[in-house]
């Protein structure tokens, strides 16, 4: 499996989505995310029907996990970002999307290379701590140190224990936490 490439793409596009959510007005962000989901479904359905779409086919072939619906991770990421943009203010949405991009990606990469103590679902203590530390540093650009650490800690816990795909749950949980913390 190409997990390093997969998580690198996850982080690159996730940081891009967070940046767009920071700079674009809510209405434009909603339209962009909704259009991305719609176009993504068209592209994936075309590939499932046997069409060869150069970039999309290559990404799905090289980055998707075996046995998963093509584009599932990207769809879940985009859908959770869309949900957050619709229901929460940008000041909490941007850190929540950034947390999904950075924490999830870094935790996997650190866990793959340095993980020695497995916690659950093959995830390691070292990966979780690495993700929390790097994500806290990234969030300091947007929110206070206490809020950044709390969001990273909760994101790390959700990543470990979420009963469904963490691309769906991390951003929403972080938005709720930051609202409670008064961001």
Per the CB < 8 A criterion, the answer to whether 78 and 168 are in contact is no
Q: What is the distance between the alpha carbons of residues 46 and 53, in angstroms, rounded to a whole number? A: 8
Bridge partners, 123 (sequence order): 120
Total tally of structural domains belonging to the chain: 1
DSSP states of 139-163: HTTTS-HHHHHHHHHHHHHHHHH-S
Does 117 or 38 have the greater pLDDT score?
A: 38
Residue 16: helix, strand or coil by DSSP? helix
103, 134 Cβ separation under 8 angstroms: yes
pLDDT at position 117: 84
- Supply the pTM of this predicted model: 0.90
Q: Domain of residue 8: give its range.
A: 3-180
Q: Residues 20-35: what's their mean pLDDT?
A: 98
Round to whole Å and give the CA distance between 19 and 15.
6
Q: What's the pLDDT tens digit per position in 76-95?
A: 999 999 999 999 999 999 99
Q: Model confidence over 35-47: pLDDT tens digits?
A: 999 999 998 888 8
Q: Tell me the mean pLDDT in the region 29-33.
A: 98
Q: Which of 10-24, 114-128, 129-143 comes out lowest in average pLDDT?
A: 114-128
End-to-end CA distance of the chain: 39
């Amino acid at each position: 499996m190409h997990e390093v490439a997969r998580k690198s793409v996850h982080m690159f596009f996730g940081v891009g989505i967070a940046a767009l959510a920071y700079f674009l007005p809510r209405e434009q962000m909603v339209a962009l995310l909704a259009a991305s989901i719609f176009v993504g479904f068209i592209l994936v359905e075309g590939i499932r029907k046997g069409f060869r779409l150069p970039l999309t086919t290559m990404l799905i072939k090289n980055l998707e996990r075996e046995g998963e619906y093509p584009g599932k991770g990207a769809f879940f990421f985009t859908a959770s970002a869309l949900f957050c943009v619709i229901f929460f203010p940008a000041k909490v949405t941007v850190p929540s999307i950034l947390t999904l991009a950075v924490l999830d990606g870094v935790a996997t990469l650190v866990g793959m290379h340095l993980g020695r103590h497995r916690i659950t679902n093959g995830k390691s203590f070292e990966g979780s701590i690495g993700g929390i530390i790097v994500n806290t540093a990234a969030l300091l650009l947007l929110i206070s140190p206490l809020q950044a650490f709390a969001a990273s800690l909760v994101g790390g816990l959700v990543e470990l224990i979420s009963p469904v795909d963490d691309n769906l749950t991390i951003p929403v949980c972080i938005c709720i936490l930051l609202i409670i913390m008064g961001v």
